[in-house]
Amino acid sequence: MPAASHPFARRIGGLQPSTIREILKVTARPEVISFAGGLPAPELFPVEAVREAADQVLAEGGQGALQYGPSEGYLPLREWIAAELGSRAIHAAASEILVTVGSQQVLDLVGKLFLDPGDVILTENPTYLAAIQAFQVFEATFVPVPTDAQGLVPEALPELIRRHRPKFLYTIPNFQNPTGITLSAARRQTLARIAAEHRLAVVEDDPYGKLRYRGTDIAPVKHWDEAGQVLYASTFSKTIAPGLRLGWVAAPAELFCRLLVLKQAADLHTSSFDQRVAHRYLTSNPQAPHLERIRHAYGERYAVMDQALGCELPAGFTWTRPEGGMFLWVSGPAELDSLKLLERSIAENVAFVPGRDFFPAEGGCNHFRLNFSNSSPERIREGVRRLGAICRSL
C-alpha cells in the first residue's frame, strides 16, 4: 500500500508506541529478568476469589451483567468506591465517581475535557510515560514543575501559572512513577491552597496509594480540596488485578457531568461484567489481609533490590528509596547513556526502562527506572548482580 494512501490522517508530533511496551515484547522470553514493565505480581492476584465472584454474578444476575449499563458505571461499585475513598480521607459521593477503563482512561477523558492544541500542562519531570502519551494525542505542551526529594515544589506554581496559563497540573503524589518519590503532607496542603487561589485544576493520579510498605499514609491533595479543583484518579489494577481494566475518577460535580458525556462518546461504558465481578469480589472478601500480603511482598522485594543495588552499583550511581509502589529510579553519572546500557543489559537477559522517555521536557539520559513488584527476590538479586557488573565495566 502506498505510504500516501491516507494523506488526511493527523500527524501527531512525538506520539510513538511506548518504549516500555516495545521492550516488554523483547522481554517476554522467560529467561529475561525484567525490571522494565509496571506489572503487579500475578501470583498475588486473588484468582480463586475472582472466579467465585464471576460465577455468582452470572448465576444470580447474568442477564444484567451482560447487558448495556449506565455510562457512569455500576452504581453499587460507585457506592463501594465512594465509601472506600473515606478511608483515604476523601469525601466524595457515589454521584461524583465515574468508572473508567483503568485509570489510564481518566487521562484520555481529562485530555479531551481540557486540551486544545498547544495548551500547557504542568507535570513533574520525569513523569508517567503513558500520561505523556495520553496528553500528546491532544497536542499538549509540557512545562515541568521544579521537584526535589519531597516531590514537586508548590511554591513554584504561582509564577508558572502566571507565565504559562496551564490548563491543569498532572501529579502522582504517592510513590511517583517513575521516581518513587512521595509528595510531603505539608506540600499537599499548600498545593490545594494554591490551586484554589489560582483556580488551577489538579489531576491527582493515585494508582499506588494502597501499596505503602513503610511509613504512614498521607492524605491526598483531594482531601484538602474545598474549592472543587482536584480530579482524583485511582484504579483496581494494583489492588485486585489490571486485566479487569477498572479505574475511576472522583470529580467535582461540574466537571463530572462533562466527563460523563466524554465517557459516553468514548466507549458508552466500562464492562458491566467486570464491574459486577469486582463489586462482588470486594464485598465478599475482606480487603485488609489481601492488601497486607501485597504490601509485604512488595516491601520485601524493594528491600532486596535496595540492598542489592548498594552491593553491586559502582560509585556515581544513586537511587531513590520509595516507601511504597512498584518502582525506584536510578541516576548514573552525567555521561551515562541508559539506552546503550539497556542494549548491553538485554544481551545479559536483564531489562529496565531508560529514563529519557519519562521526561516530557528537558531531562538527562543518565537515569533509568527499575520495577521490583514483578520479580521474585532471587531474580531481583541475580538481575541486579548482572546489571551491576555491566555498570562497573562502563
Residues 152 and 155: their CA atoms lie apart, in Å, by 9
Compute the least distance from the CB of residue 315 to a copy of itself, in Å.
36
3-class SS letters over 323-374: CECCEEEEECCCCCCHHHHHHHHHHCCEECEECHHHCCCCCCCCEEEEECCC
Compute the least distance from the CB of residue 279 to a copy of itself, in Å.
13
Check: CB of residue 160 under 8 Å from CB of residue 200.
no
**Beta carbons within 10 angstroms of residue 164's beta carbon:** 14
Residues 177 and 40: their CA atoms lie apart, in Å, by 14
- Give whichever of 65 and 308 is closer to a copy of itself, judged by the CB atom: 65
- Give whichever of 149 and 268 is closer to a copy of itself, judged by the CB atom: 268
Compute the least distance from the CB of residue 191 to a copy of itself, in Å.
16
Compute the least distance from the CB of residue 387 to a copy of itself, in Å.
23
- Give whichever of 108 and 312 is closer to a copy of itself, judged by the CB atom: 108
Compute the least distance from the CB of residue 313 to a copy of itself, in Å.
28
- Give whichever of 17 and 30 is closer to a copy of itself, judged by the CB atom: 17
Cα torsion at 26, 324, 368, 157 (round to 10°)? Answer: 130
Helix axes 129-136, 104-114, angle to 10 degrees: 40
The DSSP line for 268-313 is SSS-HHHHHHHHHHHHHS-HHHHHHHHHHHHHHHHHHHHHHHHHHS
Q: Give the burial class of 176: count Cβ atoms within 10 A of its Cβ; 0-12 exposed, 13-18 middle, 19 or more buried.
A: buried
- H/E element, 238: none
Check: CB of residue 280 under 8 Å from CB of residue 56.
yes
- Give whichever of 240 and 350 is closer to a copy of itself, judged by the CB atom: 240
3-state secondary structure of 63: helix
Compute the least distance from the CB of residue 352 to a copy of itself, in Å.
17
- Give whichever of 133 and 338 is closer to a copy of itself, judged by the CB atom: 133
Compute the least distance from the CB of residue 227 to a copy of itself, in Å.
7
- Give whichever of 262 and 389 is closer to a copy of itself, judged by the CB atom: 262
